[in-house]
Structure formats: structure tokens, C-alpha cells
Amino acid sequence: MNDAEIRTTHGSPATAVRIAAALRPDNTDEMRTCVEGDTVVTTIDRESIGGLQATVDDYVVNLRVAAQLSDQPTHDTNHE
């Protein structure tokens, strides 16, 4: 089994939670994502090194998008 652990720090626990929540729907059965303080930790286990590389590549793209979106201001959609 080949594995990788990716740890990224995001400045606050709340931001890390938002990013992890955005990433989890795309996780495969071989992936686990959790939050440790302000750090998102994802572990990937794959049978082949090629499969591991492809999964890590996809994850990094998803992570980049999630991190960029987490920096956007939130908008209140409740109009009173």
C-alpha cells in the first residue's frame, strides 16, 4: 500500500473546518480528512504509486479551490 499525508495550515480553526467540509464530498474511500486546530490533514492510501499520484494531484486542485473560496467574504442571504 502506498500512502501520503497532506497537511495544510489555514490561519484559524474555523477556516480549516470550512475547507475540510468543502473537500470531504470529493474524498474517495481511500481518503480521510480531518482538522487539527488550524490545519487540514488528509491521508490517502492507494495500491499503486500512479494511483496515489493522480489522487494527490486531484486533491491539490480541489484544495486550492476550497482555500480560495474560503477567503471570499460571506454574504447574508436572509433579507428581512
Read off the pLDDT band of 77 (50, 70, 90): very low
Radius of gyration, alpha carbons of the chain: 14
Question: Contact at 8 Å (CB) between 32 and 54?
Answer: no
Q: Where are the domains of the chain?
A: 2-70
pTM value?
Answer: 0.84
The reported pLDDT for the residue numbered 75 is: 47
- What span, in angstroms and rounded, lies between the C-alpha atoms of 47 and 19? 27
Q: Is 44 helix (H, G, I), strand (E, B) or coil?
A: strand
Write the pLDDT tens digit of every residue in 34-50.
Answer: 999 999 999 999 999 99
Tell me which CATH code domain 2-70 carries: 3.30.310.50
Question: Contact at 8 Å (CB) between 58 and 51?
Answer: no
